[in-house]
Amino acid sequence: MSQNRWLAETGGTHGPEYAQRFRDLTQDGVDVHGEARTIDRLLREVAVGGAGRVLDAGCGTGRVALELARRGHEVTGVDVDPSMLAEARSQAADEALAVDLVQGDLAALGGLLDARAAYDVVAAAGNVIVYLSPGTEGDVVAALADALRPGGLLVAGFAADRQVGVVDYDGWCRAAGLTTAHLWSTWDGAPLAAGSDYVVGVHRR
């Protein structure tokens, strides 16, 4: 199997730098929780009682996963980069947040999760899709779809001007048995227009 694009680009050592970047943005008053806010809203719509089970696929330093846990959701995070997960685990421990954080490649997702797991939302924020190992994208999307309960949502955001386009991604979702609920150009739900360089896809199982 070819190497995960993220590890090939970063060497799996950028966790502290990445976490500090978002701490600095927060210190400057920048809202860094737009993805989590949208995912939380979607969870409130599809989860029984409003609080749901979410898989953060490619959770990195835990920015989205931990915010969803703060909002009362049951969260599992998976990431291939040990330096990113170390930051997530440290922050979760500091805040006493019960987030299950698992190291592993999404290309082998089936072996990383409890086979009985059925999530209300599977999230892949922050360009996760474009950093997968080349050639595994369709298989990974299928594995993410398999982790959903019936009626659950796969929510992914990525730069469409990189290796993956909206047609590619939407096709993988459809091949995995998902239906298209929304295609947006921002996490705030702006409509997707021709030439949009960012895509947020919401697909339903």
Looking at residue 146, what is its pLDDT? 95
Domain segments of the chain as ranges: 5-204
pLDDT tens-place values along the chain, 205 residues long: 556 777 777 777 776 776 687 677 777 787 879 999 999 999 999 987 878 999 999 999 999 999 999 999 999 999 999 999 999 999 999 999 999 999 999 989 988 887 667 999 999 998 999 999 889 999 999 999 999 999 999 999 999 876 789 999 999 999 999 999 999 999 999 999 888 899 999 999 9
What are the strands, taking DSSP E only, across the chain?
Answer: 53-57, 74-79, 100-103, 119-124, 148-159, 179-184, 198-204
State whether residue 117 is helix, strand or coil.
coil
Looking at residue 14, what is its pLDDT? 77
Looking at residue 188, what is its pLDDT? 95
pTM comes to 0.89
**What whole-number distance in Å separates Cα of residue 64 and Cα of residue 57?**
10
CATH number of 5-204: 3.40.50.150
Looking at residue 80, what is its pLDDT? 93
Looking at residue 3, what is its pLDDT? 67
